[in-house]
Amino acid sequence: MKTELKFDEVKAEKVRLLEQNKDIVLATSQGSRVTARTVRYVSEGLTIIFFTLTNLKKVAQIKANPKVALCLNNASIEGKAEIISQRGEEGKRIAEIIKKKCPNYFEWWHSRTAELLVFVKVTPTLIGSYVYKDDKPFLEYLDLQNKTAYQALIWEKQE
């Protein structure tokens, strides 16, 4: 059974979830190989931003396949990743956001690896979460491409 939800309310809940955390699991793929790792991130609304080094596997995988998945608590996030140079206007803007939210972390990495540093911006397309309402398990979805939110009952005890 699928039930429509209020898009703006579900979106606001997901924005709060992202704002309350700082580490997220990122999964990337290239060919038949999928890898996952934890990254420190900042968020701007639902957009997830982190920095990494150009010589790491995740950068090559994102260049080959920008479709990524992230996991935060019980939320699964599908999205499209974009590599952004720190030299352009967008890179400078992102650097300022990260410096404000994670000053020591960013400065430590930047002071040692500035020439290898790039930003990754993930724009979510679908967020799914497990939720419980009235002691019943649901999958709740925020479909950002179609601007809809809905939930589906996973299982209901038969009496």
Note the pLDDT tens digit of each residue in 5-47: 999 999 999 999 999 999 999 999 999 999 999 999 999 999 9
Q: Looking at residue 30, what is its pLDDT? A: 95
User: What domains can you pick out in the chain, each with its CATH number?
Assistant: 2-29+37-126 (2.30.110.10)
Question: Quick one: pLDDT at residue 74?
Answer: 92
Euclidean distance between CA atoms 88 and 11, whole angstroms:
30
pTM above 0.75, yes or no: yes
In 43-102, alpha helices (H): 57-64, 89-101
Task: Give the chain's residues under pLDDT 50.
Answer: none
pLDDT of residue 151: 96
CB 74 within 8 A of CB 129: yes
Identify the pLDDT of residue 92: 87
What number of residues does the chain have? 159
Please give the pLDDT value at position 158.
Answer: 62
Q: For position 159, what pLDDT does the model report?
A: 62
Bridge partners (DSSP) of residue 136 are 133
pLDDT value of position 14: 97
Residue 13 near residue 159, CB atoms below 8 Å: no
